[in-house]
Structure 1
Amino acid sequence: MTHAKTTICIWYDRDAEDAAKFYAATFPDSAVGAVHRAPMETPGNAEGDVMVVEFTICGTPCIGLNGGPIFPQSEAFSIQISTEDQDETDRYWNAIVGNGGAASQCGWCKDKWGVNWQITPRVLTDAVAQGGEVARRAFAAMMPMTKIDVAAIEAAVAGAKAHA
């Protein structure tokens, strides 16, 4: 991994390496880099345990830190993946939820390590960025969804344009 100016650090209990391998297998432009072992005993690791894993998700540099159960994941941090269509949305959503994860609301899901993801079709973010009635309709269509239904968002956007 090149040393980027900014790197996202994600805290894991013990499974940063497994998580990084899953992300690399699931998302394009993703890979596992160096694996660093604890040079000494720490509160979250015994000497020699995998402590830090370098990886990228869709080209974004990250490190996974095995720090133990001190700081659990929450919805206060999530990774948003922008998708182009329903097939791509389904592929990522199903990979995360189907690998021990859990569905949530409004395009959010959680992987089996507790990391929160937003699998968000571009049609939704584009509609919200337009503002006004288009954004209101798209947002209203999204609110009851778990995984985002691209056709329903497109219909809401079309309806908003027809009435604007």
Structure 2
Amino acid sequence: MAELSPIQPCLWFDDQAREAMAYYVDVFPNSRITSIDEYPDESLDEHFTGMKGKVLNGQFTLNGVDFVCLDGGPLFTFNESISFVVACADQEEIDRYWSKLSKVPESEQCGWCKDQFGVSWQIIPANMGDLTRRPEQIQVMMQQKKIVIAELENA
């Protein structure tokens, strides 16, 4: 097993951990899958029933941030109470991440989106604080789905 960072997020997937890791390392630069440990033989423990070959512990890095994940079954699902912020340098970067990570249109608002695995992301400009200093800028942002920097600058 690879060394763990002092603090890192763990994502519980039903049975898509391997697929999600591969997808995310393709989306983000400087990313890689570090290790994948599979569930052992089902006869070792009742909790392993039906889990053979699925991910018990997956470790991966997305642009320098370490993550852990697992296939844990459908007991827990993702929701918007946890999201990952992607600070983007410019509109082109926002557009690129948005096109890859926003797969649930009804979840889009103020730069928030949800991917095909149900994970929530905030795709925002790195200088979001500067772009939302005035009430009229905040009003514009509240009407946006994907953040459009020029609209905030012109508000």
Give the TM-score band, short-chain normalised. 0.7 to 0.9
SS of the residue 2:122 aligns to: strand
Q: Quick check: 2:111–2:145 contact (8 Å CA) kept in 1?
A: yes
For residue 140 of structure 1, report the CA deviation from its aligned partner. Answer: 1.5
TM alignment of 1:34-49, pairs within 5 A: 34-41=35-42, 42=47, 45-49=50-54
Unpaired runs of 5+ residues, structure 2, are none
Residue in 2 aligned with 1:69?
A: 74
The alignment status of 1:58 with 2:63, answered yes or no, reads yes
For residue 40 of structure 1, report the CA deviation from its aligned partner. Answer: 4.6
TM alignment of 1:137-152, pairs within 5 A: 137-152=136-151
Under a length normalisation based on structure 2, what TM-score does the superposition of the two structures give?
0.86
Aligned length: 148
Q: Quick check: 1:123–1:153 contact (8 Å CA) kept in 2?
A: no
2: CA distance between counterparts of 1:126 and 1:34?
39
Residue in 1 aligned with 2:120?
A: 116
2: CA distance between counterparts of 1:70 and 1:50?
16
Q: Are residues 24 and 44 of structure 1, via their aligned partners in 2, closer, same or farther at CA, if it must alter by over 3 Å?
A: farther
The alignment status of 1:93 with 2:112, answered yes or no, reads no
Residue in 2 aligned with 1:22?
A: 23
Percent identity among equivalent residues? 34
Q: Which amino acid aligns with 2:129?
A: T
For residue 105 of structure 1, report the CA deviation from its aligned partner. Answer: 0.6
Under a length normalisation based on structure 1, what TM-score does the superposition of the two structures give?
0.82
Q: Which string of whole-angstrom CA distances, capped at 9 and with x for unpartnered residues, describes residues 81-108 of structure 1? A: 00011100000000113xxx21311111
Unpaired runs of 5+ residues, structure 1, are 129-133, 157-164
1: CA distance between counterparts of 2:61 and 2:136?
35
1: CA distance between counterparts of 2:27 and 2:142?
26
Residue in 2 aligned with 1:131?
A: none
After TM superposition, the structure 1 stretch with the greater mean CA deviation from structure 2, 76-85 or 41-50, is 41-50
